[in-house]
Structure 1
């Protein structure tokens, strides 16, 4: 049989990913607040796409724990709950530990410099109280090890559960407590540069577990 063209499939995939990314980011940064109803027609109008990619994006967001769907009723932004956030934290911390463990033997001098630059940007963003820039710089910092590890499974898990934790991180980066991460990042780079696989992996895990105190303040 003739092989179908891929243009339609590619367009559908791009629309679905675009819808997912836009809605996810709006939830994480608080534009779409916990408890807010997500109406297909409104989201479709906002993003300029049909309802099909919107529904697919909402299904993916539900699997990540960012939205709640009540069949026959409504879809809402999930509240920031202690139990779900703690579960995501455990998974994300473990994934970054694994990524760092696998990455350390592969990190180049350019990779280490990229981590240092990202941490400097992170520190500056915290001083300026620029939460969006702080989140991006933190992503850039940890993303070096994730990319260097080449572990697609780790990236997939982080893509699913990382956004749940980002909502809490935004709270932390808006306070003085977030500045402790700068020193923790410096320590991770130092251990990576020394080739200390176990030490760097443990430091990466501990960096993510420092959110525990904030998670404990959330309601179940």
Structure 2
């Protein structure tokens, strides 16, 4: 069992060594260009939740550089002597504060996007419900109007008198009555349909206003 896991342990150790070496090289380049350790934190891009880990990685890299005889060894030794003061300096603390503010802005933006999407979905649902409700009501009212108009025509005394006329005259006048009353019904129907769009728009605006006001 030990030999089975040994290759994995070797690979993991090599990965750690490679990462540590890259941090050392990065810090050496930063020191060579005259930058402070805040540049190291910026380049490594550790998240705010790993602030302590970032400080430890920087400290270990400084120790590795200071233990050698390279051009930046003396700078590294000086930084090690005042390392606590350096990581608590205004520049470094301001760097982490900027990271925190950036995270807050990102979080706030995501929340706002979620709210906007939710409001959009609510508006679409309200619009759909209002249109459906309006059409159902409109169809019902139109059916009632047609039924009432037809009933009134049947009960009209003038219509009864026309039934006593001869068949030719009755047929002729019936066509006129049918045409006239059909035109009246169609005219009323068109008036109702022309008002549909305005009524739907007004109902949607009223419901959305009430929803946002709650």
Relative to the length of structure 1, the TM-score reads 0.22
Relative to the length of structure 2, the TM-score reads 0.23
Structure holding more helix per residue:
2
Structure number with higher relative contact order (C-alpha < 8 Å, ≥ 6 residues apart)? 1
